[in-house]
Structures are given as structure tokens and as C-alpha cells.
Structure 1
Amino acid sequence: MRHRLYYFLPDIDSARRSFDDMLLSRIEQRHIRFISSDPLPPDMPEASFLIKTDVLHGAAAGMIVGAILGIAFGALLIVYFDLGQATVLVTTLMGILFGGWASSMAAAAIPNSQLKVFYPDLEKGRILMIVNVPARRVEEIEKMLAARHPEMKFGGEEPHIPVFP
């Protein structure tokens, strides 16, 4: 498992130095992302669409609602039209697919609700660094960043990030 660490940096130069330190600490580039209200330089990895928006949360919620509605619709079809019991399975799968798709499309326009607490600092021009580190290395990385980057502000930690996000 990985832990997601959030750090605020005051400017691009500080962000670049911290990015280099993370690479030197053998944290792969794919586990380091930056979010800024201003455009980032092309050599700095920007957070993906999935991190910036609520697509994943929306898809999960839509799949749950779609499954419930699919079960209910399938049960109604069985009761009123005397269809086979496989109808419930088919309508449930259709509900899951449609619910996940429709909800993810709506959630694509919504900023990530987990990052909502960081928006005031982002609006002030700070840069948010999001780092996914192995659980066993969290303390080591935190100490290294605190020692090398006193200008950096710790934004929090989120445990239990899957290894393959």
C-alpha cells in the first residue's frame, strides 16, 4: 500500500527542487504530481484528469445507484411480464454500466471533492505537490523534505492508496 502526501510549495523553483529531491530519493516520476492555478512548465508532471476531477467518485456512486435501480427494474419485469430470472442479472448489469457512465460524465465537470480543502492555498498562487510513497518510506520522505525544504508546508496525508491507481 501507498500513502499519499500533500505539500504546498511557494513557487516553481521550490517545486522543481523538491521534485528533483523526490527523484533522487527513488520515488518514480509517475508517483509525483503537481497542481497549480497557474500553468506549470512542461518538465513538471501535472496532476491527471482523474486526480483533478471527481470522475472516479462519480462513477462509483453511479454504479451503485445503477445496480439498485437495475435490480428493482428487473424485479418489476419479472412480476409484471413473467420474464425469466436472468432478467434481473441483465438489468442490473445494464444499470451498473449506464449509471457509471452517466455519473462519471457529470462528475467530470466537478473538481475533486477530496482536494476541496486545498483550493484556498492554490488560489493564493501556491503549488500543491501530491506524492504517493510506499507506507514504509513515509517517515523517511517526510524527514528529508522537512530538512531540505523549510519553505514547504505539509498539507496532509491520505493512507491506503492502491499500488496500481
Structure 2
Amino acid sequence: MRRIYFLVPEIVTTRKIVDDLLLAKIEERHIHVIAKRGTPLEDLPEANLLQKTDFVPAVQQGIALGGATGLLAGLVAVALPPASAVIAGGILLATTLAGAGVGSWVSGMIGMTIGNRRIKEFEEEIEAGKLLVLADVPVNRVDEIEDRVKQHLPQIEVMRTEPKVPAFP
């Protein structure tokens, strides 16, 4: 999946684009709309906390850093007291998993308090009244979906396409 970002000037056109994406068999859970605070989106699929914050990237970083830290702590624990290979393997596994768990939890909590880095570049336009539409589409359909959007707004330029999107948001 790839995430496509594009700005739309008003809600009427946004509704048409979202309807067209649904007709193109893009599930509603893969379409997210971000608007200025207080803008009524009515039946449009509003972006949730996972899209508006850095939660997912923070958890990914936390797992990597926490796991590495846990592994290093396990290596230190194994190196100090005399331990058998079975116990050493268990210690390494336990500390790595514990580090990854704690790292992902702490990073996730921090990530929820930080706005999405990828959306920050669109903040001025959103505050000016434009709507940001995020669409998660299969890699082989990116060009097709971009063309469908351009049918509604020929002057629209796809602002950004992410190389990969996590499967679970």
C-alpha cells in the first residue's frame, strides 16, 4: 500500500473525490480527510489519531531501539555471572522482548502527543480552509487513482506519495 496526499479546496469537491475513491473499490478505512478544526466533515471519513499523530512511526522506532537496548542489557547480564547456554539464551530473549515492549510503549505515548511529521507541511493550507485527503492505495493502482482524482480537479497535484504504509492503521 502507498499513501497519497492531496489538497482539495472545498468540501463539495472532497465529497465527490471520496465517493469516486469508494467507487474505485478503495475501502473507506483507507481514506482519511483532515480539515481545519471546527470544519464539519459530516459523512466524510475523518482521519483518526493514527493518521494525525506520529504514533505508528514512533512505535516502530521504539521497538527497534528498545529491542537493541534490551539485547545489550541481556549481553551484559550474561557476561557478568557464570551462566549456562540455555539460561543465557533465555536471558537474551527476555531482555530483548522486554526492551522492545517498553520501547514501543514509551515511544507510542510520546508519538501520540506529536503531530504527524508528514502532515506538518500542509498545516498552512489546512488552516486556510483546504482539506487534506489521504488515500492508502495498492502500489499497482497509484497512477489510476491519481488520474481519477485529477478528473475532479485537473489542476490538482498529488502532493506526496509515501513508499510504504503500515498495514494496521
User: For residues 70 and 26 of structure 2, what CA distance do their matches in structure 1 show?
Assistant: 43
Q: Does 1:136 align with 2:143?
A: no
Q: Does 1:3 align with 2:7?
A: no
Shift of 1:67: 1.4
Shift of 1:147: 2.3
User: For residues 26 and 75 of structure 1, what CA distance do their matches in structure 2 show?
Assistant: 50
Shift of 1:45: 0.5
AA partner of residue 67 (structure 1): G
Shift of 1:48: 2.0
Residue aligning to 1:113:
117
8 Å CA contact 1:34, 1:127 repeated in 2: yes
User: For residues 79 and 162 of structure 1, what CA distance do their matches in structure 2 show?
Assistant: 37
Residue aligning to 2:59:
59
8 Å CA contact 2:58, 2:104 repeated in 1: yes
CA offsets 1:26-68 (integer angstroms, 9 cap, x no match): 3221221101123342311011211111111111111122112
Q: Does 1:69 align with 2:73?
A: no
Equivalent pairs, count: 164
Shift of 1:76: 2.2
> Scaled by the length of structure 2, what TM-score is found?
0.85
Residue aligning to 1:34:
33
User: For residues 145 and 51 of structure 2, what CA distance do their matches in structure 1 show?
Assistant: 22
Residue aligning to 1:81:
81
User: For residues 161 and 98 of structure 2, what CA distance do their matches in structure 1 show?
Assistant: 37
Unpaired stretches in structure 1, ≥5 consecutive residues: none
Higher strand share: 1
Three-state SS of the structure 1 residue aligned to 2:159 is strand
User: For residues 76 and 15 of structure 1, what CA distance do their matches in structure 2 show?
Assistant: 56
Residue aligning to 1:158:
162
> Scaled by the length of structure 1, what TM-score is found?
0.87
8 Å CA contact 2:62, 2:105 repeated in 1: yes
User: For residues 56 and 15 of structure 1, what CA distance do their matches in structure 2 show?
Assistant: 26
Residue aligning to 2:149:
145
**What is the aligned-residue RMSD (CA, Å)?**
2.0
User: For residues 31 and 55 of structure 1, what CA distance do their matches in structure 2 show?
Assistant: 17
